[in-house]
Every structure is written in C-alpha cells, then in structure tokens.
C-alpha cells in the first residue's frame, strides 16, 4: 500500500488515537506499535488495563492485515470476527505489540476471488519495556466482500 497504514488506522479508528497508540513499523503483513504508560489507563495492579492491552493488540493486528491485504479494500472490508487473549504477566509501563498475519496472502486472495469470505488468523505478542511477553493474542479476521 502506498498510504501510511498506521495513520489510516488512527484516522478510521478514533479510539486507537485516544489511547495514544504509536505505530513504529507496518509492512508485509506485520505491524509493531506501542502505547505509552499513562496513569489514567492503569488497572488495580498498576499496569495497563486489559482494555488497553486488547485495543493495542487489535490495532496492531488490523495494521498487519491492511499491510498485507490493503490492495483488496476496493472489493472487501476486513473485519475481526473473534479474538482470544492470554494474560501471562502483569504489564507495567509502556507496552508494545507485534502482530503477524498467519494466513497465506495468495490463499486469502484466491478465496476472495472464488466468491468466498476468507478467514485467517493474526498472531500478536505484547511485551513490556524489558521485552518480556506479557500477553498473547490470536485475532481471527475475515474479508467481507462489498455488497453490489
């Protein structure tokens, strides 16, 4: 895609902008972003609230999808359908999400070409400032063809 995917996502998903998500890199079905530590986003154990972690990860997954399949936007809209999250450790301070499309682009586009609604996963790991994985997610996405 020739547009800045991080900027596009922040323009179309204002909540991600509200959290102050910063996109560090987005390309080739991968995305890395972070959210600063802000006291008003903390939970009862002084880490980022679960909603902050989920939004960060879901935003990273969406950016990864757009970087891999953004050229399909004229004929389909990407939508997350399910997500699972595993909280491994208390996250403290700034957190970073790294997302990777697990589906094969050619197979996803082929399913869309065949008139199907492709379904594929994006894996996301959230790390703390020391690089320790504090949460892991799998977000399942689909490409819903535009209605005629």
DSSP element (H, E) containing 87: strand 76-87
15-34 tens-digit pLDDT: 888 899 999 999 999 999 99
Q: Residues 77-84: what's their mean pLDDT?
A: 97
Q: Confirm or reject CATH 3.10.129.10 for domain 5-145, answering yes or no.
A: yes
State the DSSP code for 46.
S
Lowest mean pLDDT among 14-18, 34-38, 88-92, 104-108: 14-18
pLDDT on residue 9: 80
How far is 135 from 133, CA to CA, in rounded Å?
A: 6
How far is 81 from 77, CA to CA, in rounded Å?
A: 12
129 contacts: CB under 8 Å, gap ≥ 6: 92, 93, 94, 95
How far is 61 from 56, CA to CA, in rounded Å?
A: 9
Determine contact, residues 76/134, Cβ cutoff 8 Å.
no
pLDDT on residue 11: 84
Residue 1 has pLDDT above 60, yes or no: no
21 contacts: CB under 8 Å, gap ≥ 6: 10, 33, 34, 35, 55, 56, 59
How far is 66 from 105, CA to CA, in rounded Å?
A: 11
Q: What pTM value is reported for the model? A: 0.93
- For the chain, the structural domain boundaries read 5-145
43-60 tens-digit pLDDT: 999 889 999 999 999 999
Residue 13 CA: distances (Å) to CA of 33, 41, 59, 80, 107:
15, 18, 9, 13, 28
């Amino acid at each position: 895609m020739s547009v800045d995917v991080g900027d596009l996502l922040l323009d179309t998903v204002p909540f991600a902008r509200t959290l102050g998500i910063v996109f560090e890199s987005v390309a080739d079905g991968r995305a890395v972003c972070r959210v600063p530590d802000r006291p008003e986003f903390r939970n009862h154990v002084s880490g980022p609230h679960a909603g902050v972690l989920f939004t960060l990860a879901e935003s990273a997954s969406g950016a990864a999808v757009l970087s891999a399949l953004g050229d399909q936007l004229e004929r389909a809209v990407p939508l997350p359908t399910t997500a699972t999250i595993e909280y491994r450790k208390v996250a403290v301070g700034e957190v970073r999400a790294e997302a990777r499309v697990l589906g094969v682009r050619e197979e996803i586009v082929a399913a869309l070409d065949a008139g199907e609604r492709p379904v594929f996963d994006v894996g996301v790991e959230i790390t703390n400032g020391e690089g320790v994985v504090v949460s892991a997610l799998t977000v399942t996405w689909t490409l819903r063809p535009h209605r005629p």
